[in-house]
Amino acid sequence: MEAITQQIIFWILGITTITAAIGVIAASNTINSVMSLLVVMLAAAGFYMLMGAPVVALFQIIIYVGAVLVLFLFIIMLLNPDATGLSMSRKLSVWMAGIVSVGMTVVIGWIFWQSATQTNMQNVMKNHVCSCTIHDISVVLFSRHLLIFELTSLLLLVAAVGALLMTKKTREDRS
């Protein structure tokens, strides 16, 4: 019963993702593209929940949906690109990008297929087994991966300083 409900949820999410992803590249209005991207990201969060990774789903919603998409929207409002001028203007580069992304997908898919059918995958998975509640992840992050946590703050500091330096007027400009 549970397996069937999971299947149903999976297919609903999958169809939603693919439809919205097509919307991202097909929409002529850039704002609509971003809105479709929002749906894609929410659906991705749904997939993470389905895989039993609630923390990742949470981060996906807080950071990507909550913050990164806002940045996208701001950029579009700042630049105000002409919708007609953007769409498929460079035919060759669009085809090249399409071929490369399809090729990449095929290669990665083939590798996943190969590795899934290999026997020693079970051997690997044995090491993976963990209970992934939020509490467990929190404990692991603040004990075994403490350095990574602290380095993140340094990375954010550099990012903030850099963002301010690149966007704020310098003192010379103002005077």
Residues 57-96 that bind other proteins (CB under 8 A): 58-59, 62-63, 66-68, 70-71, 74-75, 77-80
Minimum CB–partner distance for residue 140 and other proteins (Å): 7
**Is 86 or 141 the residue whose CB approaches other proteins more closely?**
141
CB of 90 to other proteins, least distance (A): 16
Short-list 114, 133, 118, 111, CA closest to 52:
133
Please give the structure tokens belonging to residue 88.
Answer: 């498929």
Binding residue for other proteins (CB under 8 A) from 11, 14, 28, 52? 52
Here the tokens at position 20 are 């919205």
Report, in Å, the least distance between residue 99 CB and other proteins: 17
- Identify residues 116-175 at the interface with other proteins (CB under 8 A): 118, 120-121, 123-128, 131, 134-170, 172, 174
Pick 77 or 86: Cβ nearer other proteins: 77
Find all residues with CB under 8 Å of 34, minimum gap 6, and list them: 69, 72, 73, 76
Does residue 5 touch other proteins according to CB under 8 A? yes
Instruction: Rank residues 63 and 99 by Cβ distance to other proteins and give the closer one.
Output: 63
- Least separation in angstroms between residue 118's CB and other proteins is 6
Nearer to other proteins, 22 or 31 (CB): 31
Q: Hey, what are 121's tokens?
A: 């995958």
49 contacts 57 by C-beta, under 8 angstroms: yes
Q: What is the dihedral of CA 98, 102, 105, 109, to 10 degrees?
A: 170
CB of 103 to other proteins, least distance (A): 14
Task: Looking at residues 26 to 45 of the shown chain, list those that interact with other proteins (rule: CB under 8 A).
Answer: 31
Burial 51-90 (b: 16+ CB within 10 A, else e): eebebbbeebeeebbeeebeebeeeeeeeeeeeeeeeeee
Q: Kindly report the number of other CB atoms within 10 A of residue 38's CB atom.
A: 17
